[in-house]
Amino acid sequence: MALKDITLGQYFPGTSPLHRMDPRTKLIGIVLYIVALFLAKSVLTYGIMFAILATLIAISRVPLKSILRGMKPVVFILVFTAILNLLYTPGETVLVHWWILTVTLEGVRAAIFMVVRIMMLITATFLLTYTTSPILLTDGIESLLRPLKHIRVPVHELAMMMSIALRFIPTLIEETDKIMSAQRARGADFESGSLLRRAKALVPLLVPLFISAFRRADELAVAMECRCYHGGDGRTRLRRLTYRALDWFTIAAALLMCVGIFVLGRFGL
């Protein structure tokens, strides 16, 4: 098991316009894209959505291979959705009827649309995480959710937790590796035996890991207090997020896309 292979955030550093865009723009854009995706009902509108996505991928210069690789874990969900849609969509044109299973033309259509929709949705979110560093993403989320402070949502605290979690992932992975080596040196076996057996082998790994994580948390809290941390009130930031012309243009274009798809839907397209 190579723990070092686990990447989080899967950020591809780059200098494309998509990389340089304000993270908030991308977050807003992705939400609007998903809305539009669910408003799309016809081959035409799906085609438009696909064209937009393809253009964005081309601009971002994110290798197509890594996007496809990211699809792997969701293949099961895709197949599952396809089968459900195939079998449970009511319709008139029966294609296959066998025992209690019926496949209709509408079912095939619904299955294809659903699978394409999910794939496009996932690709779009990948595009967000591939082109935005985790810190900027956290900053963007904090900034966008700030209005929720008025209804007592601890926005700053949540963002802080998120960025600290991101900061400690490599540290804890390193530590896990170290503990695993130490246990292996004393004859622990993490790789063979039944699933239950392997799960049991993880217990002596998790206990020290948890204890050390708690100790780290404690020390970090003291260190943060020593550096005058007292919550989000009165806090300034080194890096300020600013919308530039490109950002306004993108948000406008995304809104236009939503409205356009909605209007096309109204005309039955």
Partner 1 sequence: MNDPIIKTEDLRFSYTNAEGESPVVLGGVDLQIEKGSFVAVLGHNGSGKSTLAKHMNAILLPSGGKVYVSGTDTADEEKLLDIRRTVGMVFQNPDNQIVANVVEEDVAFAPENLGVAPEEIRRRVDEALQAVGMYEYREHAPHLLSGGQKQRIAIAGVIAMEPECIVLDEPTAMLDPVGRADVLRTVKQLNRTKGVTVVIITHHMDEAAQADRLVVMAKGKVVADGTPKEVFQDVEGLKAVGLTVPDTTELLWQLRQAGQDVPLDALSDEECARALYDLLNN
- The interface region with partner 1, picked from 48-56, 80-88, 163-171, 181-189 by CB under 8 A, is 163-171
Query: In Å, how far are 84, 131, 193, 199, 201 from 181, measured between CA atoms?
Result: 45, 35, 19, 17, 13
Out of 195, 236, 267, 268, the only residue in the binding site for partner 1 (CB under 8 A) is 236
Annotate 41-90 with DSSP letters as a single string. Answer: -SHHHHHHHHHHHHHHHHHHT--HHHHHHHHGGGHHHHHHHHHHHHHH--
Out of 2, 101, 195, 238, the only residue in the binding site for partner 1 (CB under 8 A) is 238
Residue indicated by tokens 């079998």: 87
Binding of residue 154 to partner 1 (CB under 8 A): no
Binding of residue 158 to partner 1 (CB under 8 A): no
Which residue(s) pair with 96 in the sheet? 103
Binding of residue 5 to partner 1 (CB under 8 A): no
- The interface region with partner 1, picked from 28-36, 95-103, 160-168, 177-185 by CB under 8 A, is 160-168
Residues in the chain: 269
Binding of residue 134 to partner 1 (CB under 8 A): yes
Report the residue number, 186 or 240, with the smaller CB distance to partner 1.
Answer: 240
Report the residue number, 84 or 135, with the smaller CB distance to partner 1.
Answer: 135
Stretch 48-67: interaction string toward partner 1, x if CB under 8 A: --------------------
> CA-CA distance, 154 to 156, in Å (whole number)?
6
Whole-number minimum distance, CB 160 to partner 1, in Å?
9
> CA-CA distance, 170 to 7, in Å (whole number)?
9
The H-or-E segment that residue 180 falls in is helix 155-185
Contact between 159 and 138 (Cβ < 8 Å): yes
Whole-number minimum distance, CB 223 to partner 1, in Å?
4
Residues that bind partner 1 (CB under 8 A): 134-135, 163-164, 166-167, 170-171, 174, 215-216, 219-220, 222-230, 234-240
